[in-house]
Amino acid sequence: MDRRTFFGGLGAAAAGAYFARAGRAARAAGANESVVIGIMGCSRGLSVGKSFVDRGARVACVCDPDEDRRNRAREQTGAGKAVADFREVLDDPSVDAVVLAPPDHWHAPMAMLACEAGKHVYVEKPCAHNIREGRLLLETARRTGRVVQVGSQSRGTRVIQNALQLVREGAIGDVLIAKAWNSQKRADIGHAEPSEPPPGFDYDLWVGPAPMRPYQANCHHYTWHWWYDFGTGDAGNDGVHELDIAAWALGVETHPSRISGYGAKMYFQDDQQFPDSQYVAFEYPQADGTLKSLVYEQRIWSPYPQQGFDNANAFYGTRGYLILAKGRGWRLYGPDDELLNQEDGAFSVPEHVDDFINAIRAGGRPSADIEIGHRAATLAHLANILARTGRGSLRFDPGTERFVDDADANALVSRVYREGHWAVPRGV
- Whether the bond into 103 is cis, omega within 30 of 0: no
Our CA angle for 396, 321, 328, nearest 5°, is 95
pLDDT, tens digit, for every residue of 31-51?
468 999 999 999 999 999 999
pLDDT at res. 32: 60
What is the pLDDT averaged over residues 2-18?
Answer: 39
Q: Which residue has the higher pLDDT, 1 or 93?
A: 93
What is the pLDDT averaged over residues 395-416?
Answer: 98
What is the pLDDT averaged over residues 12-35?
Answer: 50
CA–CA distance, 411 with 164 (Å, rounded to integer)? 36
Q: Name the CATH superfamily housing domain 156-193+198-351+378-410.
A: Dihydrodipicolinate Reductase; domain 2 (3.30.360.10)
What is the pLDDT averaged over residues 10-21?
Answer: 40
Q: Three-state SS across the chain?
A: CCHHHHHHCCCHHHHHHHHHHHHHHHHHHHHCCCCEEEEECCCHHHHHHHHHHHCCCEEEEEECCEHHHHHHHHHHHCCCEEECCHHHHHCCCCCCEEEECCCHHHHHHHHHHHHHCCCEEEECCCCCCCHHHHHHHHHHHHHHCCCEEECCHHHHCHHHHHHHHHHHCCCCCCEEEEEEEEECECCCCCCCCCCCCCCCECHHHHHCCCCCCCCCCCCCCCHHHHCCCCCCHHHHHHHHHHHHHHHHHHCCCCCCCEEEEEEECCCCCCCCCCCCEEEEEEEEECCCCCEEEEEEEEECECCCCECCECEEEEEEECCCEEEEECCCEEEEECHHHCEEEEEECCCCHHHHHHHHHHHHHHCCCCCCEHHHHHHHHHHHHHHHHHHHHCCCEEEEECCCCEECCCHHHHCCCCCCCCCCCCCCCCCC
pLDDT, tens digit, for every residue of 265-290?
999 999 999 999 999 999 999 999 99
pLDDT at res. 185: 96
pLDDT at res. 408: 98
Q: Name the CATH superfamily housing domain 8-152.
A: NAD(P)-binding Rossmann-like Domain (3.40.50.720)
pLDDT, tens digit, for every residue of 339-371?
999 999 999 999 999 999 999 999 999 999 999
pLDDT, tens digit, for every residue of 130-171?
999 999 999 999 999 999 999 999 999 999 999 999 999 999
Residue 26 pLDDT greater than 70, yes or no: no
Which of 375, 366, 412, 363 has the alpha carbon at shortest distance from 137? Answer: 375
Which of 177, 393, 172 has the alpha carbon at shortest distance from 293? Answer: 177
Q: Is it true that 8-152 and 156-193+198-351+378-410 share their CATH fold?
A: no
Residues 152, 241 contacting (CB under 8 angstroms): yes
pLDDT at res. 198: 97
- Say how many CA atoms lie within 13 Å of 393 toward its Cβ: 4
Domain boundaries, the chain: 8-152, 156-193+198-351+378-410
Q: Which residue has the higher pLDDT, 234 or 2?
A: 234
CA–CA distance, 78 with 259 (Å, rounded to integer)? 47
Computed over every residue of the chain, the mean pLDDT equals 93
Task: Read off the pTM.
Answer: 0.93
pLDDT at res. 97: 98
pLDDT at res. 33: 80
Banded model confidence at residue 13, pLDDT cuts 50, 70, 90 = very low
pLDDT, tens digit, for every residue of 280-335?
999 999 999 999 999 999 999 999 888 778 899 999 999 999 999 999 999 999 99
Percent of the chain with pLDDT strictly greater than 90: 90
Contact partners, residue 96, CB within 8 Å, separation at least 6 = 21, 24, 25, 28, 35, 36, 37, 119, 120, 360
pLDDT at res. 305: 84
